[in-house]
Amino acid sequence: MPSDHILAIDQGTTGTTVLLVGSRGEIRGRATREFRQIFPKPGWVEHDPDDIWSSVREALREALRSSGVRADKISAIGIANQRETTLLWDRRTGRPFGNAIVWQDRRTADLCAEFRRRGLERAVLSRSGLRLDPYFSGTKIRWLLDGSRRLRRRAEAGEIAFGTMDSFLLYRLTGGAVHATDATNASRTLLMNLRGLDWDPLLCRALGVPRAMLPAIKPSIGVFGLTRGRSLMPEGIPVSAMAGDQQAALFGQACFQPGEAKGTFGTGSFFLVNTGARLVQSRSGCLPTVAWTRPGEVRYALEGSAFVCGAAVQWLRDGLGLIRRSGDVEKLARSVPDSGGVEFVPAFAGLGAPRWNPLARGLLCGLTRGSNSAHIARAVLEGLALQNVELVRAMERDLGRRVSPIKVDGGASANDLLMSLQADYLGARCLRPRIVETTALGAAYMAGLGAGIWKSLDRIRALWRCDREFKPALSARRREERLGRWRRAVDRADSAA
């Protein structure tokens, strides 16, 4: 009989992380593999599906080696994934049709504008809860199909499959036997009805996406299929959970009750607050979304998304050469007491919540002859924290109350200065857990719940541990003054598009 070990795959934007988790929530093995980022044109971002699959295979094998646990001792598999990234493949052969279009990609901005001119935004918003923005999968699918009449004919005939990365990995793990997704990922496509939790016929017709190419929508927690083919895993291991990365992080942070919130500092920054069985329609530029589903149960969340977070630190490293390693940014930024009047707006991929301007671009301003690399590094960290204030305030307006504390995670949450700035600018406590890989951990918790390793959410909640609490130390007056200076900068980036 297999032991109670869970394999969690976190297929992210810049790399894949695999964790092997024991029944007490302990990490038995871990591995991460990065893969190429492809930028064919300004505003375009792509991934090679073979690179992604290779990263999964390599990380999985290394995680098993580091754990000393044999693959046939795994009870269940959970998958978390970059959500809106879009891929088409041949159902018969499994061969992808070109590269995946990444969630950060802006190529469908004109298509979104055309749909708005046709008056589709109200129907899209009321049914899917989403904005007509290049961020989401639906217009990416339409762009791909518009590029080839033959591809569209085959899609209409059901010969072509669409999937976000969860669907693609499931298809590969099950040897092509299962083409499915879960409601958290489907809720990010512009095509799913948030109340009915199924593909919306009106939205599919309006966006020109054939229903025949879409995956089945299944509960986030439950068996999707069994491994097959023995190329990667032994046969018969259940894939018992799938969820988008941000929803998986919400689960991994044990935010099980309405009002509990998390903020993930990864490639972008994403704040989610659990709204329970209540679907909150935002009036402030946030997004209602599915938090997770189980058979007979749905939980919703409200989300604020900023497209750039850790990617800005990578820009300091790779684009400007100001630091050698991403971790060096904190020491450089701490070498000055403030940004010296320099402001940074991280709109490299447009502005997300609550402004939703895909044409906005990043802005670095307030430079003087006395500005140096430390001021720029400090301005970048401050800009990342300040952008999150806008989206959290928007969420609070929709909820009618403050959101505090906020559990933080993701790679950039290891930066103590950034977390202190975030607590100061939000005026809220930020709690960092002992294990910050909460996306993969959430996939493991979901899979363990689906496989019966954990019997209740309370058992999972008991596994969560706080590593450090960051408390706000800035006065309300100084906080508002600082926010006011940054808003003037972001207004310039917003209006210049």
Span 390-400, average pLDDT:
91
**What DSSP element (H or E) covers 71?**
none
Domains and CATH numbers, the chain: 5-246 (3.30.420.40)
Q: Which residue has the tokens 């809220």?
A: 428
pLDDT at 494 over 90: no
**Token pair recorded at residue 256:** 């099980």
Residue 152 region by backbone torsions, left for phi larger than 0, else alpha for psi between -120 and 50, else beta? alpha
Predicted confidence at residue 294, as pLDDT, reads 92
Kindly calculate the radius of gyration of the chain based on its CA atoms and give it in whole angstroms: 22
pLDDT-derived band of residue 231, with 50, 70 and 90 as boundaries?
low
Alpha-carbon separation of residue 189 from 51, 155, 400, 427, 434 (angstroms): 23, 17, 28, 34, 33
Q: Alpha-carbon dihedral of residues 219, 222, 226, 232, nearest 10 degrees?
A: 90
Cα 437 to Cα 306: distance, rounded to the nearest angstrom = 19
Predicted confidence at residue 67, as pLDDT, reads 85
Predicted confidence at residue 497, as pLDDT, reads 56
pLDDT at 2 over 50: no
Cis-peptide, bond into residue 49, ω within 30° of zero = no
Q: Letter for the amino acid at 493?
A: A
CA atoms within 13 A on the CB side of 469: 9
Cα 167 to Cα 182: distance, rounded to the nearest angstrom = 9
Cα 419 to Cα 334: distance, rounded to the nearest angstrom = 13
Angle at the Cα of 288 (from 287 to 291), degrees rounded to 5? 120
Contact by Cβ (8 Å): 316, 384: no
Q: Nearest CA to 278 among 394, 457, 398, 188?
A: 398
- Give every CB contact of residue 29 below 8 A, 6+ residues apart in sequence: 18, 19, 20, 62, 63, 64, 65, 66, 67, 68, 69
E strands in 134-220: 160-163, 180-182, 192-193, 198-199, 216-218
Cα 472 to Cα 175: distance, rounded to the nearest angstrom = 51
Name the least confident of 73-82, 222-231, 423-432.
222-231
Cα 156 to Cα 190: distance, rounded to the nearest angstrom = 19
pTM for this model (two decimals): 0.89
Q: What percent of the chain has pLDDT over 90?
A: 73
pLDDT-derived band of residue 361, with 50, 70 and 90 as boundaries?
confident
- Cβ neighbours of 194 (radius 10 Å): 22
Span 151-172, average pLDDT:
95
pLDDT-derived band of residue 478, with 50, 70 and 90 as boundaries?
very high
Which DSSP string corresponds to 65-125? HHHT--GGGEEEEEEEE-SS-BEEEETTT--BSSPEEPTT--TTHHHHHHHHHTT-HHHHH
**Token pair recorded at residue 393:** 């305030």
Predicted confidence at residue 353, as pLDDT, reads 82
